[in-house]
Amino acid sequence: MDEIDKTIKEVEETMARFTAIEEKGKEKILHYFDRIHNHLFTFNNLMIAGFFTLSQLKVNVPVWMIIIPLINLWFLIYVEYRMMEKSRFESNIMSQPKSKLDKYGKSINRTTLISLLSIIASLVVTIVFLCLLFRM
């Protein structure tokens, strides 16, 4: 019987460690999400400056093309807004009704997809910029 108790205790300790690892993993997801989006914001600001510079240096690049990285900037701000709303909901999660919890789960999936789209949109802005740059 003593060996069974020891085994049960080891299993419980292992489960507690896995639970702690899982919680740290969830925290790291948000941390890396924030880091990626901070880099995207910084890069997009460089693209805004780059588009503006191209429009001033090259006659056949119109100034209105600066709207391309500006639209991407607004898209990135929208993603950040969704993340803020997610955090607001989580700060009050214990008092939320089940219907809102289900909606919250779907919202997280959409936010992840929108985040991926923001990375793709930033890539598209970069490709447009490089095409304009190499046409010089």
Q: What residue spans define the domains of the chain?
A: 40-134
Mean pLDDT, residues 129-135 taken together: 87
pLDDT over threshold 70, residue 136: no
pTM of the model: 0.73
If phi over 0 gives left and psi between -120 and 50 gives alpha, with beta otherwise, what is residue 97? beta
The pLDDT score that the predictor gives to residue 46 is 92
Mean pLDDT, residues 38-47 taken together: 91
Please compute Rg for the chain using Cα positions. Answer: 23
Mean pLDDT, residues 2-24 taken together: 81
Mean pLDDT of the chain: 84
The pLDDT score that the predictor gives to residue 73 is 92
The pLDDT score that the predictor gives to residue 83 is 84
